[in-house]
Structure 1
Amino acid sequence: MLSSETEKYDFIESLGRGMFAEVARFQRQSDRKMVAVKRMPRVHTRLCLHEARVLAALTDENAYDHHIVRFYEAFGDEFHVYLVEEVMGQNLHDFQKANSLIKFKIRDIRTVVLQVATALAKLKDMGVVHADIKQENIVLVNQRREPFRVKLIDFGSAITTHDLASMWTPYIQPRFVRAPEVLLGYRCTEKIDVWSLACVMGEMALGRTLFPCCELELAHSIFGSRGFPSATMLEASIKTKLFFDLVDNGRGAHELRVKPYQGRELFTGTQSLRRHVPANLELLQALEDLAKGYEEQELAESADRRCLVDLLNRMLVLEPEQRISPNQALRHPFLTLQHLQKRGNYRSYYNFALQGDRPRGPEEEEAFPETSLRSLFTRLFTRRRKKQPAAAQGSEDGLEGSASCAVPGDQPAQNTGSEEQAGEDQCQSPTAGSSVRAEESTAHEEPPKKKGFMRWMRTVASCFSGCRGKKAVATEDSNSSL
Structure 2
Amino acid sequence: WRDYYFGMFVMHSDTDVYDMVDILGKGTFGEVAKCWKRSTGQFVAIKILNSFTERSGYLKSELKILKILGTFNADKFYFIHLFEYFNDNDKLCLVFELLEQNLFEFQKDHNFAPIPVRHIRTISKQVLTALQKLKELSIAHTDIKPENIMLVNHSRYPFKVKLIDFGSASVLADIQHIKGPYIQSRFYRAPEILLGLPFCEQMDMWSFGCVIVELHLGWPLYPGSNEYDQIRYIVETQGRIFTLSSLDQLERTNIESFPSAEVKAELHDQKMMVDLIKKILNLDPSERIRANIALKHAFITMQKLKLQYKNTAYYGISIQSLKDACLFGNKKDMDAACCHTEPCHKEEQYQRAEIPYNLTNTSVQISDKMAGSSSNENNKEVGLKGFYVLID
Place the TM-score, normalised by the shorter chain, in its bin.
0.7 to 0.9
1:38 aligns with 2:3: no
Alignment partner, residue 251 of structure 2: 285
Query: What secondary structure does 2:76 align onto?
Result: helix
TM, length-normalised to structure 1? 0.62
Q: RMSD in angstroms over aligned alpha carbons? A: 2.4
What does residue range 349-388 of structure 1 map to in structure 2 within 5 Å? 349-358=314-323, 359=325, 361=327, 363-364=330-331
**What residue identity is the alignment partner of 1:187?**
P
**Which AA in structure 2 matches 1:44?**
T
Match of 1:27, as an amino acid? W
Relative to 1, partners in 2 of residues 1:59 and 1:204: Cα closer, same or farther, differing over 3 Å? same
TM-score with structure 2 setting the length: 0.75
Residue 365 of structure 1 and its aligned partner are, at CA, apart by 7.5
The alpha carbon displacement at 1:18 in A equals: 3.2
Percent identity reads 37
Q: Does 1:333 align with 2:298?
A: yes
Of 313, 323, 333 in structure 2, the residue corresponding to residue 348 of structure 1 is 313
> Partner residue of 1:27?
36
Match of 1:118 among 114, 118, 129: 129
Q: In structure 2, what is the equivalent of residue 317 of structure 1?
A: 282
- Relative distance call for 1:344 and 1:300 in structure 2 (3 A) is closer
Whether 1:222 aligns to 2:234 is yes
* Cα distance, 1:287–1:91 mapped onto 2, change above 3 Å: closer
Residue aligning to 1:13: 22
Residue in 1 that maps onto 2:194:
183
**Structure with the greater alpha carbon radius of gyration:** 1
Residue-pair matches, total: 316
Question: Against the structure 1 CA distance between its residues 275 and 142, is the aligned structure 2 distance closer, same or farther, given a 3 Å change threshold?
Answer: closer
AA matched with 1:129: A
1:39, distance to aligned residue in structure 2 (A): 1.1
CA contact (8 A) 1:130 1:193 kept: yes
**Equivalent-residue separation in structure 2 for 1:177 and 1:223 (angstroms):** 14
Shift of the alpha carbon at 1:27?
A: 1.5
CA contact (8 A) 1:340 1:346 kept: no
SS in 2 for 1:322: coil
The 1:57/1:223 distance shift into structure 2, 3 A limit, reads same
Residue identity matched to 2:52 = V
1:204 aligns with 2:170: no
- In structure 2, do the counterparts of structure 1 residues 39 and 306 end up closer, same or farther at CA, with 3 Å as the change threshold? same
Match of 1:69 among 80, 89, 113: 80
1:74 to partner: Cα distance: 1.7
User: Which residue of the partner structure matches residue 142 of structure 2?
Assistant: 131
Question: Which structure is higher in RCO with an 8 Å CA cutoff and minimum separation 6?
Answer: 2
Q: Summarize the Cα distance change of 1:275–1:64 in structure 2 as closer, same or farther, 3 Å threshold.
A: closer
Aligned in 2, Cα 1:4/1:217: closer, same or farther, shift over 3 Å? same
Secondary structure of residue in 2 paired with 1:186? coil
User: Contact 2:181–2:194 at 8 Å: present in 1 too?
Assistant: no
**Structure 1 residue 169: deviation in Å?**
4.2
Which residue of 2 is the match for residue 437 of structure 1?
Answer: none
Equivalent-residue separation in structure 1 for 2:112 and 2:42 (angstroms):
32
Distance 1:287 1:182 in 2: 30
Contact 1:181 1:188 in 2 (8 A): yes
Partners of 2:228 and 2:92 lie apart in 1 by 37
Residue 105 of structure 1 aligns with an amino acid whose one-letter code is P
Deviation at 1:103, TM superposition (A): 0.6
TM-superposition CA deviations, 1:210-233 (whole Å, max 9, x none): 1123111111111233xxxxxxxx
C-alpha separation between the residues in 2 aligned to 1:179 and 1:66? 24
Structure 1 stretches lacking a partner, 5+ long: 226-273, 369-482
